Amino acid sequence: MFNESLPHAFALIVPGISPLYLAIIGVTLVASMLISGMLKRRFSEYSEIPLGLTGAQVAERMLRQNGIHDVKVISVEGQLTDHYDPIKRTVNLSEPVYHMNSVAAAAVAAHECGHAIQHQQAYKWLEFRSKMVPAVQLSSKMLNFIMIAGLLGIGIMSNPTLLWIWVGLFAVTTLFSVVTLPVEFDASRRALVWLEASGLAASMEHEKAKNALFWAAMTYVAAAVGSVAQLLYFLMIALNRR
Q: Which of 60, 112, 184, 205 is catalytic?
A: 112
Q: Identify whether the C-beta of residue 169 lies closer than 8 Å to the C-beta of residue 139.
A: yes
Give the contacts of 123 (CB within 8 A, at least 6 positions apart). Answer: 117, 183, 186
Number of neighbours of residue 239 by Cβ within 10 angstroms = 10
Distances (CA, A) of 41 to 48, 78, 128, 171: 11, 17, 33, 33
Burial bucket for residue 202 (CB in 10 Å: 0-12, 13-18, 19+): exposed
Per the CB < 8 A criterion, the answer to whether 48 and 208 are in contact is no
Kindly write down the DSSP assignment for every residue of 211-228, as one continuous string: HHHHHHHHHHHHHHHHHH
- Select from 241, 202, 224 the least CA-distant residue to 2: 224
Catalytic status, residue 112: yes
Active site residues: 112
